[in-house]
Amino acid sequence: MVSSPSYDPNLYDANNFNNRWSLDAMLNDPAQPTFNRATQGQYPLGSVFKIITMASALESGVFTPASTLDCEYTDTEVPGVTLYDWTYADCQAEKLANGTNTCTAAKSQPSGMLTLPEGLMRSCDPWFYHIGYTLYSQDGGKFKDAISTMARAFGLGKATGIGQVAEASGSIPDPTDGLDATSIAIGQGKVLVTPLQVATFIAAVANGGTLYRPQLVDKVQPVSGDPINVFKPQADGTLPVSAANLAVIQGAMHQVVVNSRGTGYYEMAGLAIPTNAKTGTAETSAVQPNAWFAGYSTEGNPNKPDIAVVVLVNNKGEGAIYAAPIFRAVMEIYFFGSRQKVYPGIETTFGVLNPDYGQPAGTPTPTPTP
């Protein structure tokens, strides 16, 4: 569990020479280094939430893995409203950068006809707008709260019960109308989560559906002798998703990183550890969105138990660009002891920052998505 920026706990020691002036500076730092963003930070989840929306769609029976949708730049299903796919913003940015009226880059093209698992692989916004609006209006609103109910069953909207550290509960609202339902379906609107909550449900997706209460301590043991206390895993619920549907979701998350059209493919290419994951780019009130990348390993090594990892980079940009490299680094350090790849664009070599990082001079700013 990492929260950045961090701080030096030695500053609290009255005998520390730096205590007399550095402690107040740290406590009054506007960057809030003592605020644990992993447990107390509440953020929109963006497209990582689509895992939950897909689970709700499959469990409703309204959608199947074979259901299809033509993923274009826009969705006009909600009367009087035009909603946009992420490829639209990329197309607009390409036009601005090249001074043209056409988009030719593969990333700027609509995704086309997709099955539901392919919709998750491509993170197609119109697919999930369609699910949100359909479930809200299907059979007179029979499933109108289905996605929010599923999210709560995934452990969102309540504290995880980790103890020892303060944590926030987040927020999972019920939709108020069809448009609100489309926002919730892509993890936006009033949806707020903590990174710890996301790590908990990602682990449940990985292990077959059991939610466990996060714990900080494995055991208490003296320098010599047997452990004084050993803490056992505590189950805290089960995802209301059938084994068959969970397998479909797991397979779609695998395609995110192994299929050349997957949103996490390029950053995960060459990773020697098999993984399943989901990218997320969540819009906020800031200029830049939050970057998310959430997933888990499937190595099956008894000496290195598989792990779930969730990365949030606050107000930085796309999840695939800014959060995915950190996810990869954590996986490589865990399994191999060190990073195996330079952070793209951030470093020139291992540990040496690119002097242009954070200074994208000459890069045009994309126009906002309407």
Q: How far is CA 165 from the centre of its chain?
A: 22
Whether 162 and 234 have beta carbons less than 8 Å apart is answered as no
Is pLDDT of 139 > 90?
no
pLDDT in tens, 213-263: 999 999 999 999 999 999 999 999 999 999 999 999 999 999 999 999 999
Q: What is the pLDDT of residue 141?
A: 84
Q: Among residues 121, 140, 143, which one has the least CA distance to residue 57?
A: 143
Q: What is the pLDDT of residue 18?
A: 80
Strand pairing of 219-220 and 275-282? unpaired
The sign of the torsion formed by the CA atoms of 238, 239, 245, 248 equals negative
Q: What is the pLDDT of residue 221?
A: 93
**How would residue 369 be classed by pLDDT, with cut points 50, 70 and 90?**
very low
pLDDT in tens, 304-360: 999 999 999 999 999 999 999 999 999 999 999 999 888 777 788 887 888 876 544
Query: Which residue in this structure is represented by tokens 């509960």?
Result: 169
Helix axes 243-258 and 50-60, enclosed angle (nearest 10): 140
Measure the CA–CA gap between 45 and 314, rounded to whole angstroms: 11
- Average pLDDT score, the chain: 92
Task: Name all domains of the chain by residue range, CATH numbers in brackets.
Answer: 46-214+236-353 (3.40.710.10)
Q: What is the pLDDT of residue 357?
A: 66
pTM score, whole prediction? 0.92
Q: Among residues 244, 326, 330, 309, which one has the least CA distance to residue 58?
A: 244
Whether 97 and 90 have beta carbons less than 8 Å apart is answered as no
pLDDT in tens, 8-18: 898 888 888 88
Q: What is the pLDDT of residue 21?
A: 78
**How would residue 366 be classed by pLDDT, with cut points 50, 70 and 90?**
very low
Q: What is the pLDDT of residue 361?
A: 37
Q: Among residues 65, 51, 369, which one has the least CA distance to residue 191?
A: 51
Measure the CA–CA gap between 99 and 87, rounded to whole angstroms: 18
Q: What is the pLDDT of residue 358?
A: 57
Measure the CA–CA gap between 299 and 324, rounded to whole angstroms: 18
Beta bridge partners of 347: 353
- Report the share of the chain in percent with pLDDT over 90: 78
Is pLDDT of 129 > 80?
yes
Is pLDDT of 368 > 60?
no
Q: Among residues 295, 311, 312, 260, which one has the least CA distance to residue 51?
A: 295
pLDDT in tens, 264-275: 999 999 999 999
Residue bearing the bigger pLDDT, 24 or 167: 167
Is pLDDT of 92 > 60?
yes
Strand pairing of 275-282 and 290-297? antiparallel
Query: Rounded to the nearest 5 degrees, what angle is found at the Cα of 215, between the Cα atoms of 212 and 217?
Result: 145
